[in-house]
Chains A and B, each alone.
Chain A
C-alpha cells in the first residue's frame, strides 16, 4: 500500500511570501504529525492531529505557522510571511489508533527561503 506522501518535494520562495505544504497520510491512520528538521537542530515536533482536531500545537514556533486537517486525511501546513530561518525540511508522519505506536514518515518537503 501507499506510504505517507508529501508535496511539493522542494520549494524555493522569497522572504515574506506564504507557503503551503501538503501531507497525505497512510489511509486509515487517524494520527498525523508535523516535524521540522533544520541543519544542526535535529528534528523538532510542530503539531499533532487526532482526526481533524489538534490537541497538541505546542511545537509551532510562531503565529506565522498554522495547520489544518480535513476529512481525517490530508493535512496542510501553512507558513505566512516566510523568514530565512524557516528554511528546513518539513516532515509529516502518521500512525494508526490513538497515536502511541510506530510513526511512519513521508519523504519531506525541502523549503528554502531566499
Chain B
C-alpha cells in the first residue's frame, strides 16, 4: 500500500506570508494527486487535482505541483490569510484495477495569525 507523508505536521505563520506544504509518496505509479482542506468538525473540500500527466495546477492563491520521479507534491499558498487556517491533506490515487481509493497523509494543521 502506498504511504503518504506530510511535513510539517503543524505550521503557524503571520498573515501575508507565502508558505509551502509538502507531501511525499512511496509509489510513483499514481493516477492523480489531490489536495484537500478540512475545517474543524467538517468534511473535506477538494482544492486541486493533479493528473499524473500534469506537473501543476493553480486556483487563485493556491498552486500545487507534482514530481512523480521524486515522489513529491507541494502546495503553495500565496499571501496567506486567517481564513486559510485549516488542516490540509494530500492524497494519492493509485493506478490499476484494484481500486480507486485515495491514500491520505495525516495532514498539515495550518494556523494563520492576524
Q: Which residues of A contact B (CB under 8 A)?
A: 4, 31, 33, 35, 42-45, 48, 55-56, 58-59, 91, 93, 95, 98-108
How far does the alpha carbon of A99 sit from the alpha carbon of B36 in the complex, in Å?
Answer: 17
How far does the alpha carbon of A29 sit from the alpha carbon of B97 in the complex, in Å?
Answer: 19
Contact A91-B99, Cβ < 8 Å, known A100-B93, A102-B49? no
| Closest A-B pairs by Cβ, 10 of them | A56-B99, A45-B101, A99-B100, A43-B104, A105-B44, A107-B43, A42-B106, A105-B43, A102-B49, A102-B46
Which residue from chain B places its CB closest to the CB of A58 in the assembled complex?
A: B99
A95 CB to nearest chain B CB (Å): 8
How far does the alpha carbon of A38 sit from the alpha carbon of B2 in the complex, in Å?
Answer: 19
Chain A residues with CB below 8 A from B101, complex form: 33, 45, 48, 56, 58-59
Contact A103-B106, Cβ < 8 Å, known A48-B100, A48-B101? no
- A42 contacts B31, CB within 8 Å? no
Which residue from chain A places its CB closest to the CB of B97 in the assembled complex?
A: A55
How far does the alpha carbon of A35 sit from the alpha carbon of B42 in the complex, in Å?
Answer: 14
How far does the alpha carbon of A45 sit from the alpha carbon of B102 in the complex, in Å?
Answer: 7
Interface residues of B in 63-114 (CB under 8 A from A): 89, 91, 93, 98-107
Chain B residues with CB below 8 A from A93, complex form: 44
Chain A residues with CB below 8 A from B107, complex form: 42
Interface membership of B28, Cβ < 8 A? no
Chain A residues with CB below 8 A from B93, complex form: 100
- B99 contacts A100, CB within 8 Å? no
A-B contact pairs, 9 of them (CB 8 A): A42-B107, A43-B89, A48-B99, A56-B99, A91-B44, A100-B100, A101-B32, A103-B34, A106-B43
- B34 contacts A56, CB within 8 Å? no
How far does the alpha carbon of A56 sit from the alpha carbon of B97 in the complex, in Å?
Answer: 10
Q: A33-B102, A58-B99, A105-B45 are in contact. List 16 more A-B contacts (CB 8 A).
A: A33-B101, A35-B102, A42-B106, A45-B103, A55-B99, A56-B100, A58-B98, A58-B101, A93-B44, A100-B100, A105-B36, A105-B43, A105-B44, A106-B43, A107-B43, A108-B42
